């Protein structure tokens, strides 16, 4: 198998056998980025010198016999993670000149594992979007069809993996931003249980929902990456103090006795027929592997979008108040006084979608509307979590489509925010409940566009989700298909 297509385990094996060096491997992917990025726009920042210096350090660790499992394997980072000395833009004009003075916890962990950075990937502005079209640095193109979006907000990460410009990448998921782009580009991505991966140094969008996770070509690769990313961090007050797990431990366990729950609400109106057919075929594949399917109900899941679009903007309006022209990034060049400076900076520095969220958030938190919107949304958030708790009494894992359709055309939904928001119908409930969710490829539609299968597990059931996904990927080859570029 070529370097371009090899699994992370295979790359690590070649590195430890010294049949390839980290410098050669990193250069290989930098060359692919050099050839492909102008058409795909997956990367905002590439800095070969920095990447190769990190690779040389990894080679020194390998030579000294101090390598850990993925030492020397390069990875791309979503531009939402502060990385010391790297431009960290969050897809915004507001931070277009911001060089981070420290490393996010996630970046620290990859550095500690000796994994060089291939650069920073493009994303929707402040992770608000489902198509990557809100990025200040222009949209990312879907490698399966450049007239279509790769999904968002981790669209650069997803497209980079699909086009094999990176063997793996980090993403973040507030309402679906790992799983939805994974589905649209035919890759595998996992949003862990809330609190498992530290949010320190990850630019905040909606803090009670934001969670970082791995994106890669397979479940096995995601398990290896999750081993690197997770762990308690005293710098994040919601980081969970749990003993370290090996997420690869159950990959090879057969599925006999496993119960998958199919929420009837996820197979209802609005689901594209190609997607429905592929997901149903995946259910019968899992049955052949020994799993049993049961019907479950998530009666309040239909309220997830309205609830999310109250809570996420409320938190965003507060989080984004720090971008005021004083402390970070952009400042309006001309202004009369302090208030005028704030106003002009924010008017010029934020794009339309970010402003919409700030306005909605300020509105739902304001005196007089707080009870009617914010408080009400918090109550329904609890009901959604309770539905999952009920469902997990009769099943080990919930299964359904990741998205209602496949990758849509650039511009197709950008004029209608509600249409755009509806894309996250199936992914948002897991964020509201804090549950882990995953998307993996399960087929193609009539336009040869990838289809995503979603797994949602109970709290801390990542190892089980990865096992189911790995067993499915051993029996199928959807995840090995590559776009022609």
Contacts to ligand GLN by CB under 6 A? 127-130, 153, 173-177, 205, 312, 424
451 - beta bridge partners?
A: 443
- Of 41 and 174, CB closest to ligand GLN: 174
Contact partners, residue 110, CB within 8 Å, separation at least 6: 75, 77, 117, 170, 228, 229
Catalytic residue, chosen from 130, 177, 218, 414, is: 177
Cβ nearer to ligand GLN, comparing 308 with 330: 308
Would residue 18 show up in a list of annotated catalytic residues for this protein?
A: no
If you ran DSSP here, which 8-state letter would residue 17 be given? T
Which position among 7, 22, 51, 78 bears the catalytic label?
A: 78
Task: Name the residue among 233, 144, 167, 158 with its Cα closest to residue 190.
Answer: 158
Q: Which is nearer to ligand GLN, 129 or 195 (CB)?
A: 129
Minimum CB distance to ligand GLN smaller for 51 or for 406: 406
Active-site residue, selected from the candidate residues 7, 22, 153, 198? 153
**Collapsing DSSP states into helix, strand and coil, what is residue 61?**
helix
Burial class (CB in 10 A: 0-12, 13-18, 19+), 20: middle
For residue 259, give the DSSP letter.
Answer: E
Smallest gap from Cβ 412 to ligand GLN, in A, equals: 15
Distance CA 22, CA 24 (A): 5
Q: Write the DSSP assignment of 121-171 as a string of letters.
A: E--SGGG--SSSTT-TT-PPPBTTBTTB---SSSHHHHHHHHTTS-SEEEE
Q: Cα–chain-centroid distance for residue 231?
A: 18
Q: Is 239 a catalytic residue?
A: no
Q: Find the helix or strand (DSSP H, E) in which 182 lies.
A: helix 179-185
CA 456, CA 334: separation in Å to the nearest integer? 49
Distance CA 75, CA 217 (A): 12
Radius of gyration of the CA atoms of the chain, in A? 21
Query: Which CB, 127 or 160, lies closer to ligand GLN?
Result: 127
Q: Does the annotation mark 177 as catalytic? A: yes
In 357-385, which positions are buried (b, 16+ CB within 10 angstroms) versus exposed (e)? bbebbbbbbeeeeeeebbeebeebbeebb
CB 89 within 8 A of CB 121: no
Nearer residue to ligand GLN within complex by CB, 175 or 450: 175
As annotated, the active-site residues are 78, 153, 177
């Amino acid at each position: 198998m070529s370097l371009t297509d090899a699994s992370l385990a295979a790359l690590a094996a070649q590195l430890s056998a010294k049949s390839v060096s980290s410098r050669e491997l990193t250069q290989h992917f930098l060359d692919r980025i050099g050839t492909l990025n102008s058409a795909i726009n997956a990367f905002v920042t590439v800095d070969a010198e920095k990447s190769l210096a990190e690779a040389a350090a990894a080679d020194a660790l390998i030579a000294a016999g101090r390598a850990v499992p993925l030492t020397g394997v390069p990875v791309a980072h979503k531009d939402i993670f502060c990385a010391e000395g790297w431009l960290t833009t969050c897809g915004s004009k507001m931070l277009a000149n911001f060089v981070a003075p420290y490393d996010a916890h996630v970046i620290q962990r990859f550095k500690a594992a000796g994994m060089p950075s291939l650069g920073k990937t493009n994303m929707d502005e402040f992770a608000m979007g489902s198509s990557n079209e809100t990025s200040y640095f222009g949209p990312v193109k879907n490698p399966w069809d450049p007239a279509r979006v790769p999904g968002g907000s981790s669209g650069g990460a997803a497209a980079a993996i699909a086009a094999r410009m990176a063997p793996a990448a980090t993403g973040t998921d507030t309402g679906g931003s790992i799983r939805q782009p994974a589905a649209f580009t035919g890759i595998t991505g996992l949003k862990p249980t809330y609190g498992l991966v530290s949010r320190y140094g990850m630019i905040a969008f909606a803090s009670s929902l934001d969670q970082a996770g791995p994106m890669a070509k397979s479940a096995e690769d995601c398990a290896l990456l999750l081993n690197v990313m997770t762990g308690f961090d005293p710098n994040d007050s919601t980081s969970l103090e749990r003993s370290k797990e090996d997420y690869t431990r159950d990959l090879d366990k057969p599925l006999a006795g496993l119960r998958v729950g199919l929420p009837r609400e996820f197979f209802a109106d609005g689901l594209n027929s190609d997607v429905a057919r592929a997901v149903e075929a995946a259910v019968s594949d899992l049955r052949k592997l020994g799993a049993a399917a049961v019907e479950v109900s998530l009666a309040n899941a239909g309220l997830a979008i309205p609830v999310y679009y109250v809570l996420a903007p409320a938190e965003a309006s507060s989080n984004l108040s720090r971008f005021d022209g004083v402390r970070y990034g952009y400042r309006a060049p001309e202004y009369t006084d302090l208030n005028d400076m704030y106003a002009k900076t924010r008017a010029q520095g934020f794009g339309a979608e970010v402003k919409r969220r700030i306005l909605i958030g300020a509105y739902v938190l304001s005196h007089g509307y707080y009870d009617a919107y914010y408080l009400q949304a918090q109550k329904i958030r609890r009901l959604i979590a309770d539905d999952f708790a009920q469902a997990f009494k009769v099943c080990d894992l919930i299964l359904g489509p990741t998205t209602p359709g496949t990758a849509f055309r650039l511009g197709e939904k950008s004029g209608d925010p509600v249409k755009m928001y509806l894309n996250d119908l199936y992914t948002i409930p897991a964020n509201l409940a804090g549950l882990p969710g995953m998307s993996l490829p399960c087929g193609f539609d009539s336009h040869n566009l990838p289809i995503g299968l979603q797994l949602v597990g109970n709290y801390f059931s990542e190892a089980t989700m990865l096992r189911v996904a790995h067993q499915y990927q051993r029996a199928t080859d959807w995840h090995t298909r590559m776009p022609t570029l």
